Amino acid sequence: MDHNALINLPDEMLHLTLCNGQARVLLCRTTNLTRKCANIHQPSSVALAAVSRLMTGTLMLSTMMKEEDSSVTVTVAGGGPAGKITCVGRHNQIKATLQNPQHEMPLKKDGHLDVGGYVGNEGRLTVIKDIGLKEPYIGQSNLVSGEIGEDFAQYFTVSEQKPSLVAVGALVHEGFCLSSGGVLVQPLPGCTEEVLEQLELRSMFFTAISREVAEAPLDELYSGWFDGLDPVLLSKDPLEYKCDCSREKMEKALISLGRAEFSRLIEEDGEVELTCHFCRSAQHFDKEELTALLERATRA
Ligand SMILES: [Zn+2]
C-alpha cells in the first residue's frame, strides 16, 4: 500500500453489530487527535500514551451516548506519578488534561512504555455521564493495572454490568504519536455461547491495536477480523480534539469565586489571566473588565 496514504488515514469511530445484533463493536483510530493533544500539553512519551488510551476509551463512551447535550468525563487516578488524568468527550469531540504531563518513566523490560507504572493501580477510574438531567450518572471501578484498556474493561463489567473486551493502544516515539486507536467488543443480551467463543478467539487479532490501525483502513480491519460473523456497519463518524472553552465560561468561573474573593482579587492583583486546562489558551481580564464583571454579577 502507498505509504503516503497511510499517514493520512483519518480519525474516525465505527459502530458495528455482529451476528444479527448479538454483539456490538466499536472501532476507532485516534492518531491525529492524539497529536493535537501532544502539541497542546507537550507530554512525555509515557504520558502521551496514557492520555491517548484514555481519550480513546472516553470516545467509545461518548459516541455511545445518544442524547443531544450529553457529555462524559472520565478521570483516572491511580496513585502513580501521573496524578490525575481527565478526558471529556462530547459525542465525537474530545479534550484532555494531565496533572503531570512531563514526567518520564524508564521503559519496561519488554521495551514498552510503562503506562501502568505512570498511572499507578491503586485507585479508580471514574465516569461521569451528563445527559442534561439534574443529576449526572456517576460510575466507578477499581483500577486493574493502570494500563487503561483493562481498566475500561473492568469498568464496563463492574459498573455497567456489560462485560466487554477492550483494547486501546498508542504507538509513541519520543513524544510523537505514530498511531493510536482502540476496539471494544460487547456481547449483547441473547448472545449465544458459540458467538461468545468466536469473539474470544477473534480478540487475538487486536492485541496490537495501535499497529493494526496504522496499517489499514478500519473497514478493511473489521471485515477481516469478524469474517463469518456478519459485521454490519451502523455508523462512521470523524473524531477530533476540540475544546469548548470561551471567554463567557471563564467569566462564569470568576463570578463563581463569590463577591468577597472576587473583590479581593481585583484589589490585590488588578488583572488576571486564566489559562484553560484543556487547550492552554489564555484569556486576559484587566481591572476595568473585572470591575464591570463584578458589578454585573452583583446586579444579577
Ligand atoms: Zn480550552
CA of 247 to the centre of ligand 1 (A): 10
Average pLDDT over residues 123-147: 95
- Clarify whether residues 62 and 88 are in a common domain: yes
Domain end, chosen from 241, 262, 290, is at 241
pLDDT 10s digits, 74-110: 999 999 999 999 999 999 999 999 999 999 999 999 9
Average pLDDT over residues 31-42: 98
CA of 87 to the centre of ligand 1 (A): 12
CA of 121 to the centre of ligand 1 (A): 29
- Clarify whether residues 201 and 270 are in a common domain: no
- Clarify whether residues 142 and 269 are in a common domain: no
- Residue 268: which domain range? 247-299
Q: How confident is the model at residue 145 (pLDDT cuts 50, 70, 90)?
A: very high
pLDDT 10s digits, 258-286: 889 889 989 998 899 999 999 999 999 99
pLDDT 10s digits, 106-126: 999 999 999 999 999 999 999
Average pLDDT over residues 141-148: 97
Q: Record the pTM.
A: 0.93
Q: How confident is the model at residue 148 (pLDDT cuts 50, 70, 90)?
A: very high
CA of 144 to the centre of ligand 1 (A): 31
CA of 251 to the centre of ligand 1 (A): 13
- Clarify whether residues 70 and 167 are in a common domain: yes
- Clarify whether residues 51 and 198 are in a common domain: yes
- Clarify whether residues 281 and 185 are in a common domain: no
- Clarify whether residues 277 and 133 are in a common domain: no
Q: So what's the pLDDT on residue 1?
A: 44
Domain end, chosen from 223, 241, 259, is at 241
Q: How confident is the model at residue 178 (pLDDT cuts 50, 70, 90)?
A: very high
Closest CA to 47 of 107, 126, 118, 109: 118
- AA letter at 211: R
- Clarify whether residues 134 and 197 are in a common domain: yes
Q: So what's the pLDDT on residue 269?
A: 87
- Clarify whether residues 51 and 79 are in a common domain: yes
DSSP assigned state of 145: S
- Clarify whether residues 273 and 182 are in a common domain: no
CA of 244 to the centre of ligand 1 (A): 6
- Clarify whether residues 257 and 144 are in a common domain: no
**153: CB partners within 8 A, 6+ apart:** 144, 163, 164, 165, 166
Q: Which residue has the cell 503516503?
A: 4
**b/e per residue, 89-99, with b = 16+ CB within 10 A?**
bbbbbbbbbbe
Beta-carbon count within 10 A of 289 CB? 16
- Clarify whether residues 139 and 286 are in a common domain: no
pLDDT 10s digits, 236-264: 999 999 999 999 999 998 999 888 988 99
CATH number at residue 275: 3.90.1280.10
pLDDT 10s digits, 213-224: 998 999 999 999
Burial of residue 282 (number of CB atoms within 10 Å: 0-12, 13-18, 19+): exposed
Total domains in the fold of the chain: 2
Q: Detail the DSSP E strand segments found in 174-216.
A: 176-187
Mapping DSSP to helix (H, G, I), strand (E, B) and coil, where does residue 141 land? strand
Q: How confident is the model at residue 46 (pLDDT cuts 50, 70, 90)?
A: very high
CA of 95 to the centre of ligand 1 (A): 8
